[in-house]
Chains A and B, each alone.
Chain A
Amino acid sequence: MTDDHDVDETPAQAPAQAQAPAQPDAPSPAGSTPLTPADAADAARLIAFGLQPKLQPARDAEYTELLRRHRDDPAFARLADAVAAGLGLVVLEVSTRAGMAVTAADDSVFAVRMGDYARRATADSGDRFLHGLAHLAVAAMAFPRPEDLADDGYIGRVTVNGVDAFVRQACRRLEERAAEGGENTDPASDAPGLEAAWRVYARRTATGATKDARRLAGSTTGIIAKAVAFLVDSGFLQRTGDDAGGTYRTTPRYQLQVRDMAGSAAMTELLELGVVPVGDGRPTLLPPDDADDLELVADAGLPFHS
């Protein structure tokens, strides 16, 4: 509703807008120009652009102009940020490469809820976990090294089958480690919540033949395919091909979202659970050197950190 409102208002403001950029140009050193309703409309318009995540700034002259104004005019920038905050949005970055990168704050009307995302996930904790894990795994595959996540110019590439194989491999490694201990690690029957997470993934089928030759929705590749399709709609991934179940590349927005929002939120949750990945306090440039739990797995054929 909000963006509809903004869009409706713009034509009416078009003449006002023509003079609006002219005003700050001249007295900008003073910075004391009072903001007009036209400026508020422009700020809201910029947020409206940000709410269309698949829209690329370079493709729209008006979007580019508003981004430029956000950069050059501090008062306008503050106004735009205030509009975003009022709508329940968090501004991640405003730049020509990422556009007006906004994301939903907690409890915002724009937030995505698991129940809306996957119907089955509300009833089944295993399915809920798998859907969440798929998103985490896509991010981990898209930015395999810490440097990749930090490097603004990095473009990650993921494939659906690649993500599945990569998580499966990690699960297998854990299975081998569990078997190495010689202890019986099969989960107890009456406490499904205590089952190790990797088991839930490992025992789910990777794919499955269906009558209409579509992907089996409940299989792990089906769940991952759903995740990447959703991320494409969020403007986080772009489809580049059909190989290996679908190939995708990341957008700057996805990097921002993972780096500034999702990664830290999940990390906080993990720390609250009392799990402290060793070496967390300092930058991890070379994972093998700093983490105790990244020891080489013996007899694995190839060295692999799990």
Chain B
Amino acid sequence: MSVRPLTLCDVTSPAPAAVPPQLNGPHRPAPGPAADEGLARRLRALACTAPLHDLDARKANLAGEYGVYAMAEVALAAIDLVTLTMDFDTGADHEQIVTRLLPRVAAQAPERPQSEHERVARWVLENLINVGSADRGFRVVYGTFGTDGAYVRRDYDFKLIEEVPGPGGTVFLRATDEAVNVLVGALDTDVTSAQIAAEVKLEVLVSRGRLADAQLAAEQARYRTVQYAETLRKTLDATRRNVRAVDWLNTVPDMIAEALDHVADRYRHENAILTNIRKVRDEAASGVDPEHKRRAAELVDIVKDCIRRHTQLQSRLLEAGPLFRAEQDRQAFASPAARSGLDLYGQLLAPVLTLPLERAGRVTDAFFARGTGLRTPSSVRVGDLVELLLTPPAEREHLGAEMPEPDLIATPDDSRFSEEQLASAMELLTLPADAPRRLSGLLADARLRDPELPYLVALLAVHAASPAVGTAYRQGESSLLFAVDDGTPLDDPGFGGADLIVGTALLDAAGMAADRSEGV
């Protein structure tokens, strides 16, 4: 607001005296600025849709037959995707949006190659960002009547999808407020009240069982929730940066309490809606219309998502308190300054931003001239120049640095028994089908071969007490080792327990194979 008095004071210095007679005067040249303001707002709203229409108008200019594609539809879908994907912290990934647009583009022209579909999706997304312009945004010129009755052409600058820096130098996409407003259709409205309105509408719709409308309203509520979270995120970020300007005694705690109340309120509200919809969903489940059921289920998901977003917002709000206190400590415990310096933000940056470009440029020029330090002028020697020009350019490493040969370390073999011992034990346990043996005899035999072998034999025998018959059957084995306990106690110096009868059972391999083929 400080812009106005500054820029206008030279032009209409006796403004207070001049304006009233003009307003009451008999020959006002045009409808007053108040009436014009509504028009200007609608013009701006209209302008936000222009890039979408423009896509369809310009598709003819693309090399190739792109008439079949409905570009505005793809564009709206893209804005939808970006809005829903962008979360509290990050935005939507460029590639991911392109990928998720592909099915829709492909459906519009199924016979065309996929590379073309991808090209269309990219073209639409790039045009929504408006990659070609320096600002990466759009500008629409419209006219209004000023307070003095003069017709003024004005620039309206806006973005639909903006690129924001993400963690690790990546670039994310975000839908701007303008885009969300165009999408939701509620132009130029207050975020909070619109959200409440959307939720009330949803409740009414759900109670009347009109689920198709309810789903639309629920989606709108979610758009609003995203928008609201976005507004708060930006404000919190700002506070984090500029702690000194914050009234920690009263205003901030009040504000946080207010915001938490708001979240709690929404949470309660949305839970109530959730309960309502669940009831509708379950009633619909017993009813006849599966479409109804599906809608209700989708609705539950959407409202759940809203609740999730509110919870996320709440945790952010709770983190704000400790953050402020830490910053407060850091600044309160610092020793007082010996002399006071210039308030760079309050006295320079903030006033400069409000100035018209022409004047602001003079201040920033002055800061630049004195604030960049010095550069020693470089003087070139001919000898150096020749050498420089003759040096071949350094080869650019396309593949990155060479991978070092991995140094493999052999892991030590820590098996209890060796392969030979296993072979020996298996040989011992290879019993004829008609002559099973007692475990005690097997152990005695094993002890003669190798003092370690009885352990392995005992282990195998115990294993055989519960043979994997099913597995053997499936694998078409012809025989299977089994062990049975007939109640005889084992008499052995090293082991105790039951003296198992160990034997080999023959399996009917051919019959099994026949069974298997029948089963298939």
Asked whether any CB of chain B lies closer than 8 Å to the CB of A259, the reply is yes
Contacting A at CB under 8 A, from B345-361, are: 345-361
Contact check: which of A110, A244, A293, A303 meets B2 at CB < 8 Å?
Answer: A293
Interface string of A154-178 (1 = CB under 8 A from B): 0000000110111101111110011
Chain A residues near B356 (CB-CB < 8 A): 193-197
Asked whether any CB of chain B lies closer than 8 Å to the CB of A151, the reply is yes
Interface string of B221-262 (1 = CB under 8 A from A): 000000000011011111101101111000110010001000
Give CA–CA (A229, B40) in the complex, Å.
43
Asked whether any CB of chain B lies closer than 8 Å to the CB of A28, the reply is no
Give CA–CA (A133, B368) in the complex, Å.
8
B170 to chain A, nearest CB (A): 9
Asked whether any CB of chain A lies closer than 8 Å to the CB of B312, the reply is no
Chain B residues near A199 (CB-CB < 8 A): 157
Do the beta carbons of A140 and B345 come within 8 Å of each other?
yes
Do the beta carbons of B351 and A277 come within 8 Å of each other?
yes
Asked whether any CB of chain B lies closer than 8 Å to the CB of A31, the reply is no
Do the beta carbons of B134 and A149 come within 8 Å of each other?
no
Contact check: which of A140, A173, A198, A303 meets B348 at CB < 8 Å?
Answer: A140
Stretch from B160-168, B287-295, B445-453, B498-506 contacting the other chain:
B160-168
Do the beta carbons of B357 and A275 come within 8 Å of each other?
no
Contact check: which of A114, A188, A208 meets B154 at CB < 8 Å?
Answer: A188
Do the beta carbons of B373 and A231 come within 8 Å of each other?
yes
Do the beta carbons of B341 and A146 come within 8 Å of each other?
yes
Asked whether any CB of chain B lies closer than 8 Å to the CB of A74, the reply is no
Chain A residues near B302 (CB-CB < 8 A): none
Give CA–CA (A204, B135) in the complex, Å.
4
**Nearest-neighbor residue (CB-CB) of B169 within chain A:** A245
Q: Known contacts A112-B375, A205-B135; is A136 also within 8 Å of B350 by CB?
A: no
Q: Known contacts A198-B354, A305-B242; is A284 also within 8 Å of B340 by CB?
A: yes
B501 to chain A, nearest CB (A): 71
Contact check: which of B165, B337, B339 meets A161 at CB < 8 Å?
Answer: B165
Do the beta carbons of A189 and B252 come within 8 Å of each other?
no
Interface string of A248-284 (1 = CB under 8 A from B): 0000010001110111111111100101010010011
Give CA–CA (A147, B365) in the complex, Å.
25
Do the beta carbons of B352 and A270 come within 8 Å of each other?
yes
Do the beta carbons of A273 and B372 come within 8 Å of each other?
no
Do the beta carbons of A284 and B346 come within 8 Å of each other?
yes
Asked whether any CB of chain A lies closer than 8 Å to the CB of B338, the reply is yes
A148 to chain B, nearest CB (A): 7
Do the beta carbons of A200 and B357 come within 8 Å of each other?
yes
Q: Known contacts A180-B1, A259-B341, A262-B367; is A205 also within 8 Å of B348 by CB?
A: no
Kindly list 17 other residue pairs between chains A and B, CB separation below 8 angstroms, not including A187-B155, A262-B366: A53-B374, A103-B370, A103-B373, A125-B358, A136-B348, A139-B367, A147-B334, A150-B340, A164-B165, A170-B349, A197-B353, A207-B163, A257-B371, A270-B348, A283-B339, A291-B347, A304-B245
Q: Which residue numbers of B lie inside 8 Å of A, CB to CB?
A: 1-4, 6-7, 33, 36-37, 40, 44, 94, 129, 131, 134-137, 141-142, 144, 152-157, 159, 162-165, 169, 171, 231-232, 234-239, 241-242, 244-247, 251-252, 255, 259, 331, 334, 336-377, 379
Q: Which residue numbers of A lie inside 8 Å of B, CB to CB?
A: 1, 3-4, 51, 53, 89, 102-104, 106, 108-112, 114, 117, 125-126, 128-129, 131-133, 135-137, 139-141, 143-151, 161-162, 164-167, 169-174, 177-178, 180-190, 192-209, 218-219, 221, 230-231, 234-236, 242, 244-245, 253, 257-259, 261-270, 273, 275, 277, 280, 283-285, 287-288, 291, 293-294, 296, 300-306
A-B contact pairs, 12 of them (CB 8 A): A106-B369, A140-B345, A143-B344, A181-B4, A186-B154, A195-B155, A257-B373, A262-B367, A267-B342, A270-B352, A287-B345, A302-B238
